[in-house]
Structure 1
Amino acid sequence: MQKLIPQPHDHEYASFMADPQGYFLSSLPSLFDSTKYMAVIDIISAHSHEEEYLGEIKDAYTRWPGEPDIIDAFYRFSVNIKKIKNEIHRRNVDPRLRNRCGAGVPPYELLIPTSEPGVTGRGVPNSITI
């Protein structure tokens, strides 16, 4: 909304009281502004097919040559990230957790570490675009 609901002492209060629905509709952004906003959000929210996610690096040996301690720590971290992914999946299918599964309840996917390309609502990339 582009305008707040006016208070009784505001000069727009009378027009708000006369036609609350019209006041509300006049406070919404234009169709062009809404479309532009949706396009920008879609572009910055989409995952590319070559994106690297938390705990994923294509070849750690070429990134950190001669650093076996760093490579070992990274692989331990990567294993822990995979355990988190499996735990989220396990909780999503557990019928005892009524906030996770049931009719009309979407599974929790926000912090699942990986994602398919596109806008998915899941995946934790190594870097962000916002």
Structure 2
Amino acid sequence: PKLDTKEDLCGILTTMIWIASGQHAAINFGQYPFGGYVPNRPTLMRKLIPHEDEPEYEKFIHNPQRFFLSSLPTQLQATKVMAVQDTLSTHSPDEEYLGQVHHLQSHCNSDHQVQIIFKKFSSKLEEIEKTINARNKDIRLRNRSGAGIPPYELLLPLSGPGVTGRGIPNSVSI
């Protein structure tokens, strides 16, 4: 990218902040909530889907569910993956989230302009959280609301500690 103007700098910094915060949070903190139940999202399968000319094909056609279940990882394999996903998806009790001021105040407390801009940014994040929560409750949005459909929370800005499936830390957090 070019870096000739303030707009160029703004674009570069926006991309860097997005990758280190929002994108990482969306990919990382949903691992256990969505993949911790192995049949929902198996990380490996122990059998290939058979071709029509193979002996296993008849078993596959006759009972695809049984074939699928026999292809899942062993209990030991699944438990190891679940443990890693749980660890990666866990927020630390002292996590600092995008839009929070704890660390920023100690470095920028005297710069009034920075405080004004940061307050505006934090207010926008609060609006985003309200929008996401409203969409999750909207029954017209069939992909967001209803029986068996978990609400979309991956990009809700704040979270508590533990595996919550939500929250955007200030930077990559593993």
Instruction: Classify the TM-score, shorter chain.
Output: 0.7 to 0.9
Aligned residue pairs total: 125
Match of 2:157? Answer: 113
Indicate the larger mover: 25-34 or 40-49.
25-34
* CA apart distance, 1:24: 4.4
Q: 1:125 to 1:59 in 2, by over 3 A?
A: closer
Which of 65, 72, 78 pairs up with 1:34?
Answer: 78
Q: 1:17 to 1:61 in 2, by over 3 A?
A: closer
Equivalent position SS for 1:80: helix
Matched, 1:17 2:61: no
5 Å-filtered alignment, 1:1-130, equals 1-8=45-52, 13-14=54-55, 16-17=56-57, 19-20=59-60, 24-64=68-108, 67-95=111-139, 97-99=140-142, 100-129=144-173
**Aligned mates of 2:73, 2:152 — CA distance in 1:** 31
CA RMSD of aligned residues (A): 2.8
- Normalising by structure 1, we get a TM-score of 0.74
Aligned AA for 1:117? P
Structure 1: any 5+ residue segments left out of the alignment? none
* Percent identity for Structure 1 against Structure 2: 45
Instruction: Look at both structures and tell me which one has the larger radius of gyration over its CA atoms.
Output: 1
Aligned AA for 2:123? V
